[in-house]
């Protein structure tokens, strides 16, 4: 069974887009996932096929209508009743590698892409929709966020990445950033590769990588570091 990506969007031509090339593109050609973009406008009922209207209470921009979106969502739920339904919005909960793993292990995902100022809030009350953000910045719409979410899922599908995706050492699986990488040439612009990596001593290399991962996480991502340390303090073996 292939992973079904159903995307509700005003710009279906954006899919698969970049996911039609490289790793995800090969997986798509091999049938490991299917890409099913659906035009939201097809669920409008007036002659202008309108999907948005002015915000209640006034203000800039337009808001996506709950009634039109609900018809699109209901169509998708009927088509893929088992797939979780996400809506990409900067008001959502941040996407995590843990959630990506869950999604990739399931039958697929249906993604509603927001545009304009946002989506009528009543839609989130009336349908089982998980609001998801990919970060604290504003995109011009949910489509790029949907592509990011799908890319993160697809690389984890069985047979897509091979050995490299076993994943235990990857960033975030340990709650830390990954250690830094080096390759040939051994000297470049006067810079050498850390000696330990050329020592052949695997225990020493592992210890060095752990230290680097911890140092970089503490400096670059104090938020991750705090959570990591907090989790360690909670665990029975937490005392150092
Ligand atoms: N739509 C606009 N900005 C977004 C973001 N940061 N995450 C998800 N969807 C979005």
Q: What domains can you pick out in the chain, each with its CATH number? A: 3-162 (3.40.1280.10), 168-234 (1.10.1270.20)
Which pTM value belongs to this model?
0.95
CA of 115 to the centre of ligand 1 (A): 9
Q: What is the pLDDT of residue 216?
A: 98
Strands of 95-205 (E only): list them. Answer: 108-113, 118-119, 130-133, 187-188, 191-192
Known binder of ligand: residue 138? yes
pLDDT at 206 over 70: yes
CA of 92 to the centre of ligand 1 (A): 8
Probe residue for ligand 1, chosen from 90, 113, 118 as the CB with the greatest number of ligand atoms within 8 Å: 90
Known binder of ligand: residue 139? yes
Q: What is the pLDDT of residue 127?
A: 98
pLDDT at 238 over 60: no
Q: Whose CA is closest to atom 9 on ligand 1?
A: 89
Known binder of ligand: residue 134? yes
CA pair distance 158, 76, nearest whole angstrom:
25
Q: What is the pLDDT of residue 162?
A: 80
Q: What is the mean pLDDT of the chain?
A: 95
Is residue 209 within 8 A of residue 171, CB to CB? The reply is: no
Residues contacting ligand 1 via CB (< 6 Å): 88-90, 114, 133-135, 137-139, 142, 145
Q: What is the pLDDT of residue 168?
A: 54
CA of 219 to the centre of ligand 1 (A): 26
pLDDT at 240 over 80: no
Q: What number is the ipTM of this complex?
A: 0.99
Known binder of ligand: residue 114? yes
Is residue 65 within 8 A of residue 123, CB to CB? The reply is: no
Probe residue for ligand 1, chosen from 133, 135, 144, 151 as the CB with the greatest number of ligand atoms within 8 Å: 133
- Kindly state the helix (H) or strand (E) to which residue 70 belongs, with its residue range: helix 66-79
Query: What are the pLDDT digits (tens) for 21-42?
Result: 999 999 999 999 999 999 999 9
CA pair distance 72, 45, nearest whole angstrom:
12
CA of 71 to the centre of ligand 1 (A): 22
Nearest atom of ligand 1 to the alpha carbon of 132: 8
Q: What is the pLDDT of residue 234?
A: 83
CA of 150 to the centre of ligand 1 (A): 14
Sheet holding 52-53, edge to edge: 52-53, 63-64, 118-119
List of residues 6+ apart from 59 with CB closer than 8 A: 117
Probe residue for ligand 1, chosen from 138, 149, 150, 151 as the CB with the greatest number of ligand atoms within 8 Å: 138
The CA-atom distances, in angstroms, between 101 and each of 37, 156, 170, 186 are 22, 7, 13, 36
pLDDT at 62 over 90: yes
Known binder of ligand: residue 200? no
Query: What are the pLDDT digits (tens) for 114-170?
Result: 988 999 999 999 999 999 999 999 999 999 999 999 999 999 999 999 867 555 556
Q: What is the pLDDT of residue 235?
A: 77
Q: What is the pLDDT of residue 136?
A: 97
Residue 236 binned pLDDT confidence (cut-offs 50, 70, 90): confident
CA of 210 to the centre of ligand 1 (A): 33
């Amino acid at each position: 069974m292939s992973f079904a990506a159903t995307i509700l969007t005003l710009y279906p031509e954006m899919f698969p887009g970049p996911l039609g090339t490289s790793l995800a593109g090969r997986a798509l050609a091999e049938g490991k996932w299917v890409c099913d973009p659906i035009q939201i406008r097809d669920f409008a009922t007036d002659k202008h096929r309108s999907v948005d209207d002015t915000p209640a209470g006034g203000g800039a921009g337009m808001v996506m209508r709950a009634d039109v979106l609900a018809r699109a969502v209901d169509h998708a739920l009927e088509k893929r009743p088992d797939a979780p339904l996400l809506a990409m919005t900067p008001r959502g909960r941040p996407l995590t590698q843990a959630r990506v793993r869950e999604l990739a292990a399931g039958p697929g995902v249906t993604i509603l892409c927001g545009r304009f100022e946002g989506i009528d809030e009543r839609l989130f009350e009336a349908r089982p929709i998980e609001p998801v953000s990919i970060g604290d910045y504003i995109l011009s719409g949910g489509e790029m966020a949907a592509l990011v979410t799908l890319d993160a899922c697809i690389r984890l599908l069985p047979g897509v990445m091979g050995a490299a995706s076993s994943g235990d050492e990857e960033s975030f699986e340990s709650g830390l950033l990954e250690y830094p990488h080096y390759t040939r040439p051994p000297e470049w612009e006067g810079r050498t590769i850390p000696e330990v990596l050329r020592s052949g001593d695997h225990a020493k290399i592992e210890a060095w990588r752990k230290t680097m991962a911890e140092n970089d996480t503490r400096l670059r991502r104090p938020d991750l570091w705090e959570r990591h340390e907090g989790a360690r303090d909670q665990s029975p073996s937490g005392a150092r």
